[in-house]
Amino acid sequence: MMTSWEPVVDYLLENMQKQTYKKDERLPSEHELAQRFELTRIEVRKAYDRLKEMGYVYSRQGKGNYYAGYLEKVELVLSSTDSFSMKMSPLAGRFSTRLLSCERIAWHKDIHERLAVAQGEPVLCVKRLRYLDHMPAAMHISYVREKSFPNIRECLQKNPSLYAYFQGRGIQDIAAEDTQLTISTLNTEERLYMKVSGIVPCLMLKGVSRDCKTKEILELSTIIYRGDKFIFRL
């Protein structure tokens, strides 16, 4: 069921697509839109908050809401075996990655067993945030054996690409296995990192990366994509 303020979002997005507004132009006031759609200003404010989350609008205190410029969704081929960084490489300056953390986790039966490690052997959780146009767009959570990659913290601080790290260790042929695709919402931590306050549909991709030469499992991964940033192609 559509919320009362969603038609306002659709109206403004349609005008943005038509290039009705110029970048940094002041957008219709809350009062103007409230009258047009017969809504309260609080409801219109929710529409603007949603557009801010999507990266299309910014506000100036006491001056209203302004158009940040229309950001086209990025096409992402999920069936490709290329790394996320490689898929995003054509975007050049629009894409970046930040390492959030690389920490040991407590014993987790499923994770430790899938990585084939004994209880007591350390497993690292690597969290990275992907940005598009300076806005958080995806979060990568990876689990790896610390014994197999003892210097991973230092290397990822210099270059947060896990794929590049594997290649630097001579692992060239990596296979993706056991891929699971689900629709999800964000938990509290993910909302904080992704800068999302409202409900944003997300696509969650879970999988296993394996070294084709040694057959060793390199990584268990969970990738959370914001649904308002990508067009997914299978």
Q: Are 39 and 74 within 8 A, CB to CB?
A: no
Structural domains in the chain, sorted by start:
6-67 (1.10.10.10), 74-233 (3.40.1410.10)
Q: What is the DSSP string of 157-182?
A: HH---HHHHHHHTT---EEEEEEEEE
How does strand 230-233 pair with strand 74-77?
A: parallel
Q: Determine the pLDDT at residue 71.
A: 73
Statement: residue 3 has pLDDT above 80: no
Residue in the block written with tokens 């990738």: 223
| pTM, full prediction | 0.76
Q: Say what the alpha-carbon torsion angle 18, 21, 23, 26 is, to the nearest 10 degrees.
A: -150
CA dist 124 and 102 (Å) reads: 6
CA dist 76 and 224 (Å) reads: 13
Average pLDDT over residues 173-194: 88
Q: Determine the pLDDT at residue 197.
A: 65
Q: Determine the pLDDT at residue 31.
A: 96
The dihedral through the CA atoms of 179, 232, 230, 168 has a sign that is positive
pLDDT grade, residue 198 (50/70/90)?
Answer: low
Q: Phi, psi at residue 23, to the nearest 5°?
A: -55, 135
Q: Which of 24-33, 58-67, 88-97, 217-226 has the lowest mean pLDDT?
A: 88-97
pLDDT in tens, 6-60: 899 999 989 998 889 999 999 999 999 999 999 999 999 999 998 988 788 999 9
Q: Determine the pLDDT at residue 91.
A: 73
Query: What is the DSSP secondary structure assignment for residue 94, as one 8-state letter?
Result: G
